[in-house]
Amino acid sequence: MHWRVTNETRQRLLADRAERAESFIQRFQGLMGRASLPMGGGMHIEPCNSIHTFFMRIPIDVAFLDAEGRIVKQLSAMPPWRTSSIYFKARSVLELPAGVLGASGTQEGDRLVFTPGEAPGA
């Protein structure tokens, strides 16, 4: 299943084909090894309060979310082979193509909403 991610505070669509990683294996693998992350794509990792970009080939925008979906910290264009700090208030992380957060005007404190999207090819 894919998810639509909307910045409810700014009324901006951030992704319409975000994947969700919930199992240990899915969370561990995340976006590792992918050559690209197309616009509209994303990865929501739950539970999660820190990430790494080891073995990744692309920079990503990162939003750390609390239990209500509010951004407690965001990182723009986090390059490969880096680690984030631990954000103790974060319960999940949304990874997006680099530039999406800035282009949408998304800021810390904004609330993101996840709704089921259509399956690919539907």
Average pLDDT over the chain reads 92
Domain-located, residue 86: yes
Domain-located, residue 121: no
The CATH number for 76's domain is 2.60.120.1140
Q: Two tokens at 44? A: 């929501």
Each residue of 20-31: pLDDT tens digit? Answer: 998 888 887 778
Contact 36, 62 (CB under 8 A): no
Domain-located, residue 112: yes
Q: What is the mean pLDDT of residues 77-86?
A: 96
Domain-located, residue 76: yes
Question: What is the number of domains present in the chain?
Answer: 1
Domain-located, residue 17: yes
Angstrom distance (rounded) from CA 25 to CA 15: 23
pLDDT score of 60 more than 60:
yes
What pLDDT does residue 118 have?
66
What's the predicted TM-score (pTM) here?
0.91
Q: Residue 16 belongs to what domain range? A: 2-116
Domain-located, residue 18: yes
